[in-house]
Amino acid sequence: MGKIKSKQVKRASKELMENGIEFYDDFGKNKRILGQEMPSKKMRNKMAGYLTRFTNQK
């Protein structure tokens, strides 16, 4: 997989952040948080990775 994420991953991640869910710069924590929301393992891991990179940039 490359560094470019799909629009679906970016849009869903932004929606979750706007809903007030707090994410961290740790992949494992973000993965556990998303595990409650996401049924798909592949999508959960992609979003957790994107959110981890996004929070590290801030």
pLDDT tens-digit readout, 27-40 = 999 999 999 878 89
Rounded percentage of the chain residues whose pLDDT exceeds 90: 59
Dihedrals phi, psi of 42, to nearest 5 degrees: -65, -45
Read off the pTM. 0.83
- pLDDT for residue 53: 92
- pLDDT for residue 34: 93
Whether the per-residue pLDDT at 58 is higher than 80: the answer is: no
3-state secondary structure of 33: helix
CATH 1.10.357.10 corresponds to the domain 7-57: no
For the chain, what are the domain ranges?
7-57
- What confidence category does residue 47 fall into, taking pLDDT thresholds of 50, 70 and 90? very high
Angle at Cα 56 formed by Cα 50 and Cα 8, nearest 5°? 20
